[in-house]
């Protein structure tokens, strides 16, 4: 499949969609995820709970209509792009659904982006309007806007600052002048709906295009099947809305079910996360292993009240056995692991509360197919590892303006993930690293992630990352970056103990040759370990 401008509907059938009973009319607009709550009589129910202010479904729908009308009044026509650089408050879903309802395309941007990246996003998306949080407006400079089509900035969360290089308006006044009713644009279910950008670990980030029906598909396949979400549920996702995982957790799933979402606008520090759980009483909590680890190592962990949470979910990285056990012992409930991607929009591999294996990402979610292939393109047998391919009807059809990357990743209706997994005899899948992470150490092939998973189980290790690094003589070796528990000493004796621990559990040659102790591992804006920063750090020290 090659890149498409997507100004017209993309022809797609729904053979896999029928497996989950997924039926949508040809004419469909994704804003119905929100607006169906009015038809269901839930207008007075609280949709958003937040330190920045609550909002009912009726209020959220009215603000979405006002936003859509205001954008159209600026002269934007479908499928014009609207860049969104916002914190998680009720403004964000109103802006997203308002743009979609008007037939426009919201482009969700990481709030930790720098000015250079923001300039790239503006130019790549050709967005004419940007809705930006007040404290992020300093990123909008004449240099940032140069080479883009940006005409107007709408400022949320504060007054319009001086010095913006284009016309500007404050969100409250901007929407107040617009009508509170708006008919959904006559989009097709396969029309472009919204974009997210990849993290850009290699090269510039890629604009990942999603279609009008994708949100509804992830709700039907994952939220209803695995979470069994309903009207009484309140979802809290410290991972943010600009992140595909957070987008589903705190926007698609609660609104599609008629439940509620807790939106926290600040950094998800442990103290703030515990406060939100105790104040807003969510029933489903979504985190990453790094967040669960930070919570488990915070002094408040021993007394925190999380009794309202019926289901804990984790994704993106593998949970250690120690953390999984500590969580269960403290709260009496397991963390349910899964795996998804921005290309697929949300989780497509998952354990279930009643059927799970520690360390596994689970089995394919209903409505998705996967296959594991060896380098020759043959499917591997249970007990062997292969590269994962996945397909399902929430998959992105292309990367915007990146036909070569599209052709590399999106092959027919399959997504090539580049991730290696092992399939066990019961059908559970275990992550075994990137296909391109394989390195040769002392003449033997090694996957760094295998060492990392083993090392993370040592009681002295709080968190770790293992990478392949190049020595001055051009040989490759493995290096572990380790954050120790408070009582462990960062010395040679501990290093030897960690190396021996790996030797005893894996083949002896797989132990990490180098160990560096850190106070904390660097994280990306989505909360994952930033391996590129670790590699850069190592290169600077070499």
Given this model, what pLDDT does residue 10 score? 32
Please answer whether residues 61 and 35 qualify as being in contact, where contact means their C-beta atoms are separated by less than 8 angstroms: yes
DSSP 275: H
User: Which residue did the predictor score with more confidence, 245 or 377?
Assistant: 245
Measured at the alpha carbon of residue 34, what is the angle toward residues 31 and 36, in degrees to the nearest 5?
95
DSSP 191: S
Given this model, what pLDDT does residue 436 score? 72
State both tokens at 28: 């469909």
Given this model, what pLDDT does residue 5 score? 28
Given this model, what pLDDT does residue 21 score? 63
Q: CB within 8 A of 395, min separation 6: which ones?
A: 343, 344, 345, 410, 413, 415
Residue 47 banded pLDDT, cuts 50, 70, 90 = very high
Cross-strand pairs, 207: 197
**Percentage, residues of the chain above pLDDT 70:** 94
Residue 474 banded pLDDT, cuts 50, 70, 90 = low
CB atoms under 10 Å from CB of 484, counted, come to 19
Given this model, what pLDDT does residue 520 score? 92
- What pTM value is reported for the model? 0.83
Given this model, what pLDDT does residue 169 score? 98
Residue 539 has pLDDT above 80, yes or no: no
Chain-centre distance of CA 181, in angstroms? 31
Given this model, what pLDDT does residue 54 score? 98
Residue 15 banded pLDDT, cuts 50, 70, 90 = very low
Given this model, what pLDDT does residue 20 score? 61
Given this model, what pLDDT does residue 434 score? 75
Model pLDDT for residues 17-28, shown as the tens digit of each residue: 445 667 889 999
Given this model, what pLDDT does residue 203 score? 67
Rounded mean pLDDT, 400-415: 93
Please answer whether residues 518 and 505 qualify as being in contact, where contact means their C-beta atoms are separated by less than 8 angstroms: no
Measured at the alpha carbon of residue 192, what is the angle toward residues 189 and 197, in degrees to the nearest 5?
135
**Which is nearest to 292 in space by CA: 238, 223, 241?**
238
**Which is nearest to 231 in space by CA: 25, 21, 57?**
57
Residue 432 has pLDDT above 90, yes or no: no
Residue 61 has pLDDT above 90, yes or no: yes
Q: 454 by DSSP, 3-state: which?
A: helix
Given this model, what pLDDT does residue 314 score? 95
**Which is nearest to 253 in space by CA: 215, 282, 209, 283?**
215
Residue 426 has pLDDT above 90, yes or no: yes
Model pLDDT for residues 278-334, shown as the tens digit of each residue: 999 999 999 998 899 899 999 999 999 999 999 999 998 788 888 899 999 999 999
CB atoms under 10 Å from CB of 75, counted, come to 11
Q: DSSP string spanning 383-452?
A: T-EEEEEEE-TT--S-BTT-HHHHHHHEETTEEEEEEEEEE-TTS-EEEEEEGGG-EEETTEEE-HHHHH
Given this model, what pLDDT does residue 538 score? 79
List the CATH code of the domain at 214-434.
3.40.50.12780
Same fold, 27-211 and 214-434: yes
Which region among 259-263, 384-388, 514-518, 528-532 has the lowest average model confidence (pLDDT)? 528-532
CATH for 438-541 (3.40.50.2000, 3.30.300.30, 3.40.50.2300, 3.40.50.300): 3.30.300.30
The pairing of strands 46-49 and 260-262 is parallel
Alpha-carbon span 101 to 32, nearest angstrom: 8
Residue 500 has pLDDT above 90, yes or no: yes
Given this model, what pLDDT does residue 248 score? 98
Please answer whether residues 449 and 440 qualify as being in contact, where contact means their C-beta atoms are separated by less than 8 angstroms: no
3-state SS, 392-410, equals: CCCCCCCECCCHHHHHHHE
Q: DSSP string spanning 285-316?
A: EEE-HHHHHHHHTSGGGGT---TT-SEEEE-S
Which region among 10-14, 173-177, 286-290 has the lowest average model confidence (pLDDT)? 10-14
Rounded mean pLDDT, 470-499: 89
Rounded mean pLDDT, 206-223: 96
- Per the prediction, the chain carries an average pLDDT of 91
Alpha-carbon span 244 to 247, nearest angstrom: 5
In the chain, domain spans = 27-211, 214-434, 438-541
Model pLDDT for residues 31-43, shown as the tens digit of each residue: 999 999 999 999 9
Distances in whole angstroms, Cα of residue 235 to Cα of each of 42, 97, 240, 265, 292: 17, 18, 12, 15, 16
Alpha-carbon span 327 to 285, nearest angstrom: 13
**Which is nearest to 61 in space by CA: 78, 44, 73, 75?**
44
Given this model, what pLDDT does residue 18 score? 42
Fold held by 27-211: Rossmann fold (3.40.50)
Given this model, what pLDDT does residue 532 score? 84
Q: 363 by DSSP, 3-state: which?
A: strand
Residue 473 banded pLDDT, cuts 50, 70, 90 = low
Given this model, what pLDDT does residue 316 score? 81
Alpha-carbon span 510 to 381, nearest angstrom: 24
């Amino acid at each position: 499949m090659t890149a498409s401008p997507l100004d017209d509907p993309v022809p797609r059938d729904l053979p896999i969609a029928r497996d989950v009973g997924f039926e949508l009319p040809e004419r469909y607009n994704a804003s119905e995820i929100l607006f169906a709550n009015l038809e269901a009589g839930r207008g007075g129910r609280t949709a958003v709970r937040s330190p920045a202010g609550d909002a009912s479904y009726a209020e959220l729908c009215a603000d979405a209509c006002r936003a859509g009308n205001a954008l159209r009044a600026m002269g934007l026509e479908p499928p014009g792009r609207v860049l969104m650089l916002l914190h998680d408050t009720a403004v964000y879903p109103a802006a997203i659904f308002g743009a979609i309802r008007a037939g426009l395309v919201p482009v969700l941007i990481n709030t930790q982006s720098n000015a250079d990246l923001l300039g790239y996003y503006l130019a790549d998306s050709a967005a004419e309007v940007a809705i930006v949080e007040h404290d992020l407006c300093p990123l909008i400079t004449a240099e940032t806007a140069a080479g883009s089509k940006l005409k107007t900035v709408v400022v949320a969360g504060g007054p319009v600052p001086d010095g913006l290089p284009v016309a500007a308006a404050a969100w409250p006044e901007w929407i107040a002048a617009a009508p509170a009713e708006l008919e959904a644009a006559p989009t097709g279910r396969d029309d472009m709906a919204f974009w997210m950008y990849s993290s850009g670990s290699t090269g510039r980030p890629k604009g990942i295009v999603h279609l009008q029906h994708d949100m509804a598909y992830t709700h039907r396949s994952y939220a209803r099947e695995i979470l069994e979400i309903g009207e009484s549920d309140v979802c809290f996702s410290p991972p943010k809305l600009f992140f595909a995982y957070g987008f589903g957790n705190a926007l698609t799933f609660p609104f599609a079910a008629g439940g509620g979402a807790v939106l926290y606008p600040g950094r998800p520090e442990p103290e703030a996360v515990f406060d939100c759980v105790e104040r807003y009483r969510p029933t489903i909590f979504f985190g990453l292993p790094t967040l669960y680890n930070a919570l488990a190592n915070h002094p408040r962990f021993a007394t925190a009240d999380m009794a309202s949470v019926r289901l804990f979910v984790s994704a993106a990285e593998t949970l250690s056995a120690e953390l999984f056990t500590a969580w269960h012992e403290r709260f009496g409930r397991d963390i349910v692991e899964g795996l998804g991607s921005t290309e697929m929009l949300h989780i497509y591999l998952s354990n279930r509360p009643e059927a799970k294996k520690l360390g596994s990402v689970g089995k394919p979610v209903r409505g998705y197919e996967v296959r594991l292939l060896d380098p020759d393109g043959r499917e591997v047998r249970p007990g062997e590892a292969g590269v994962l391919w996945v397909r399902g009807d929430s998959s992105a059809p292309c990367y915007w303006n990146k036909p070569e990357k599209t052709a590399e990743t999106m092959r027919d209706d399959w997504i090539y993930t580049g991730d290696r997994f092992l399939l066990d005899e019961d059908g559970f899948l275990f992550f075994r690293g990137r296909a391109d992470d394989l390195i040769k150490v002392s003449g033997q092939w090694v996957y760094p992630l295998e060492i990392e998973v083993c090392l993370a189980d040592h009681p002295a290790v709080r968190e770790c990352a293992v990478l392949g690094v190049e020595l001055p003589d051009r040989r490759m070796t493995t290096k572990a970056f380790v954050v120790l528990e408070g009582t462990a000493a960062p010395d040679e004796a501990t290093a030897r103990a960690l190396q021996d621990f790996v030797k005893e559990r894996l083949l002896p040659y797989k132990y990490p040759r180098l160990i560096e102790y850190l106070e904390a591992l660097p994280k990306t804006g989505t909360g994952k370990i930033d391996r590129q920063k670790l590699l850069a750090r190592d290169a600077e020290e070499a």
